[in-house]
A and B are shown apart, each in its own frame.
Chain A
Amino acid sequence: MSSIVTRVRQKQIAQSIAKGKRLDGRSLTDYREIKLEQGTIERAEGSARVLLGKTEVLAGTKIETGQPFPDTPDEGVLTVNAELVPLASSTFEPGPPDENSIELARIVDRGIRESKAINLEKLCIEPGKNVFVVFVDVYVLNHDGNLIDASALAAVAALLNTKMPNYEIEEGQLKIKPGHTPLPIGKHPITVTCAKIDDRLIVDPWLEEEQVMDSRLSIAIDDEDNICALQKGGTGYFTPQQIMETAKIAKEKAGELREKLGW
């Protein structure tokens, strides 16, 4: 996934982290500057653009009607997809989604689904027959590390910005009426990723740090400080103590972001 970072650089990064400071001047638990803009794409039902340092992610939502899943006949459907667009990095290639983009989409999906961010029961039109299907498409526009947190943020922000069409049932036929209502959102999950480099934990790894990290742990936290989704990635390991430390950092960081965003 990564381009080659010289061993010298790797050593530099690790040495700097050992002193409690990162090469870009951040402390170990600082996020980069976060910019959030909603409603970027007028044609989409909802959209949001997130800048996390130089990492840039655009998320757009579309709403269609369709059939519910047989095991949840009275619930709407949520579909999350992620595209690692080739223009975002020299390491991204055109073609069908690879394991990295599928993993990214599924991490974002799990955060939204498990926290019950969308009240899917309110998206039911006719149980078992017709429901609203919400598509969230995450578009990575510039890759400078920590795509997970940026994508999760963009996806929730896009959902908060999503307009649902008004409708009525006339003689068994679905009719779309003019006007719209906001999508029923109950929770605002926030995903926090920590990377482990030389047995130290850092928040929001940027690209060079991701290239030298042993492993990462991404934790989604809901409005009540519960953990609602979690994913370890990378080829290293975590000790049980490091896992609990990461969970505590994630809880704290999610709280800070929540305050900043007003979620």
Chain B
Amino acid sequence: MNQKPEKLIDKKGLRLDGRKPEDLRPIKVDVGVLSNADGSAYVEQGKNKILAAVYGPKELHPKHLSLPDRMVLRCRYHMAPFSVQERKSPAPSRREVELSKVIRESLEPAIFLEYYPRTGIDIFIEVLQADGGTRCASITAASLAIADAGIPMRDLVVGCAAGKVDDTVVLDLMDTEDKIGVADVPVALMPNLDVVTLLQMDGILTLEEFEKAVNLAMEGCKKIYALQKEALKTKYMTVKEVEE
């Protein structure tokens, strides 16, 4: 097994991968990567590799699940067996069931559900490689996939975590920091409306540290938001008109 490092932040104030406390990992965002899906997106954040696809709006099956006044959102967050150190069973774990629920609830406020009564959309998120902060990167990817599917939204939703390692509040925890750090605070934000749609925490934080972590995570979200918008623009700028 891997040895626990003594310190997660060195004397110069740098983290294990050389980042400063308020730095994000390198992020790559792509939109429209799957041809079958109505919308799709791919996000790399550090070693995280996450693919999200949206199918719909479409008739729901089974039909009795549909609602007369709004669209139903279904979401599956799933990790590939090879995405982590020890093989993960492909059957959905309790963690994946919970994350599917909180991710769905983080995306729902952004969508004009009432525009599509009696229909549903399916959001499928596959974590191909995990490196800490997958739920946040999944939200970033899923909201892009929804936008790519052309579903009207109030804003994009963007996820980013902050937390505490050693004695410092840091942004965007990677796997080791998440596992042996003091606390982890994943946040999802709709930056234009400045509202938080996902908030969780584990670990121990004082009220002041918690406030600092939430604010730092929101700053991180806003930086990733710029990349999201850029990725959408890039896709639709390069679409050429097909001549009949």
Contacts and interface: CB of A to CB of B under 8 A. Distances in A.
A110 B100 CA distance: 17
A239 B194 CA distance: 7
Interface residues of A, number: 35
A232 to B, nearest CB: 4
A28 to B, nearest CB: 20
Question: A113, A237, A240 — which one has the most chain B CB atoms within 10 A of its CB?
Answer: A237
A249 B204 CA distance: 18
B214 A222 contact: no
Interface in A109-129: 110, 113-115
A27 to B, nearest CB: 23
A259 interface: no
B102 A232 contact: yes
Contacts of B196: 232, 237-240, 243
B207 to A, nearest CB: 6
Contacts of A226: 204-206
A105 B195 contact: no
Interface string B191-212: 0011111111111111100110
Interface string A91-123: 000000001001101100010011100000000
A225 interface: yes
Given A106-B98, A235-B109, A243-B214, A114 B200 contact: no
Contact of A99 (B1, B98, B108, B207): B98
Contact of B195 (A106, A234, A239): A239
Contacts of A102: 94, 97-98
Contacts, number: 94
A133 interface: no
B215 interface: yes
Contact of A240 (B197, B202, B206, B215): B215
Contacts of B203: 114, 228
A239 B202 CA distance: 20
Contacts of A235: 105, 108-109
Given A102-B94, A237-B190, A243-B214, A114 B195 contact: no
A4 to B, nearest CB: 11
A179 interface: no
B210 A105 contact: no
A117 B97 CA distance: 25
B71 interface: no
Nearest to B184: A114
A70 interface: yes
A147 interface: no
A99 B210 contact: no
24 contacts: A99-B100, A106-B94, A114-B202, A115-B204, A227-B201, A229-B201, A229-B202, A230-B185, A230-B201, A230-B202, A232-B102, A232-B196, A232-B198, A233-B105, A234-B105, A235-B108, A236-B197, A237-B193, A237-B196, A238-B195, A239-B194, A240-B196, A243-B199, A244-B214
Given A113-B202, A231-B201, A235-B105, 7 more contacts: A106-B98, A114-B204, A115-B204, A226-B204, A237-B190, A243-B214, A248-B207
